[in-house]
Structure 1
Amino acid sequence: MHDITGKRVAILATHGFEQSELEVPLNKLREAGAEVHVVSLEPGQIKGWDKKDWGRPVPVDKTLDEASADDYDALVLPGGQINPDLLRVETKALSFIKDFWTANKPVGAICHAPWLLIEVGIVKDRRITSYHSIKTDVMNAGGRWENSEVVTDQGLVTSRHPGDLDPFCEKLSEEIREGRHERRAA
């Protein structure tokens, strides 16, 4: 992991996030020196999904009403089937994601989280990986889907599945350390 001391990272999630896809980046990025906040729709706790059943709750640090992309250097979007499906109908969540992208800040998305990238229109002409079941969704949105563990395209870091998230965290920390990314028009 790259040293990202002093950087601030938001993890946007709600109930039904895949447990490891929130907890592993949360812990790894904190170990690398970042201040990491879990941002959600409501205060309190959100409950994860751990493979085949409900997992552990995770405390919410800030609600979307309290958070702004201006306060952070990067964004992480955990997957799971439930979490991104619930978030992609929430206007505030979509605006939050779009604000990071518009500001040229790194965005990381795991597994099913590219659904959120599709919803905000940032997949077109980008190299992306995702869980295989949403490959067609990515391609229909104009993304160039790759069957790779991790794909990076101009500050956008995507991971195929929640297996070993170390390569995803490594690439994301590298992108965070590099800072803002000028992006060519899609």
Structure 2
Amino acid sequence: MAHELRGQKVAILAADGVERVELEQPRGALHGAGANTEVLSIHTGEIQARQADLNPAGTFPVDRLVSDASPDDYDALLLPGGTMNPDQLRVDKDAIGFIKDFVNAGKPVATICHGPWTLAEADVVRGRRLTSWPSIRTDLRNAGAEVVDEEVVTYGQFTSSRSPADLPAFCAAIVEQFAQAGSPSSGV
């Protein structure tokens, strides 16, 4: 494998309404490269997934409450989308605090579709170049981000993508980003 993530632990922060493919496919790519993942959420049990925001698409078990997690426990963070998911996360003080601490630690963060809403709420996008689902681009601009319409954007510690249609490029980019961040020369 070109990019080895063996020994890395990735937090996936999600809530009810997460877009199933935006959690499942990146997690599969990370596992395929050797990473371990944990789903963090704002409640215990399971989170409800959606397909195209509207249709129920099963559940994902929650591994840990975000309120009980520390960025020190993880090498990277994945923020999947779905409209309801980030809308719930962005009003949860523990989720926003976790994201702020993660970004301030300089660790890699990957987000897709509506996922960057939580980054805007955490006030960590100012001066950063990102892409997202079209309907939240104004929110990102208002939070100080440089927003572009590209399949995948890697800028510093952030990798972002627009939609499920971009998942193949997004999955490849996050494996590469996380592998580089986890290399001994990177300091992570």
Bin the TM-score by the shorter chain: over 0.9
Q: Any idea what SS the aligned residue of 1:38 has?
A: strand
1:1-186 equivalences under 5 Å are 2-51=3-52, 52-179=54-181
Q: Distance in 1 between matches of 2:45 and 2:88?
A: 17
Q: Distance in 1 between matches of 2:150 and 2:76?
A: 22
Q: CA deviation at 1:135?
A: 1.3
Q: Distance in 2 between matches of 1:113 and 1:136?
A: 14
Q: CA deviation at 1:136?
A: 1.1
1:103-161 Cα shifts (integer Å, max 9, x gaps): 10000111011111111111111110000111111111111111101001101000111
Q: Distance in 2 between matches of 1:44 and 1:141?
A: 33
Q: Distance in 1 between matches of 2:103 and 2:67?
A: 19
Q: Distance in 1 between matches of 2:66 and 2:141?
A: 29
1:150-175 Cα shifts (integer Å, max 9, x gaps): 00110100011111412112111112
Q: CA deviation at 1:21?
A: 0.6
1:89 maps to a residue whose letter is V
Q: Distance in 2 between matches of 1:67 and 1:25?
A: 21
Q: CA deviation at 1:98?
A: 0.9
TM, length-normalised to structure 2? 0.92
1:169 maps to a residue whose letter is C
2:20 maps to a residue whose letter is Q
Q: Any idea what SS the aligned residue of 1:104 has?
A: coil
Q: CA deviation at 1:99?
A: 1.2
Segments of structure 1 that go 5 or more residues without pairing to the other structure are none
Q: Distance in 2 between matches of 1:161 and 1:114?
A: 12
Q: Distance in 1 between matches of 2:55 and 2:22?
A: 15
Conservation of the 8 A alpha-carbon contact between 2:49 and 2:60 = yes
TM, length-normalised to structure 1? 0.93
Backbone CA RMSD of aligned residues? 1.4
Q: Distance in 2 between matches of 1:174 and 1:164?
A: 16
2:18 maps to a residue whose letter is F
Identity among equivalent positions (%) equals: 46
Tell me which protein shows more helix as a share of its residues: 2
Q: Distance in 2 between matches of 1:123 and 1:47?
A: 28
Q: CA deviation at 1:65?
A: 2.9
Q: Distance in 1 between matches of 2:35 and 2:91?
A: 29
Instruction: State the 4+ residue runs in structure 1 displaced beyond 6 angstroms.
Output: none
2:38 maps to a residue whose letter is H
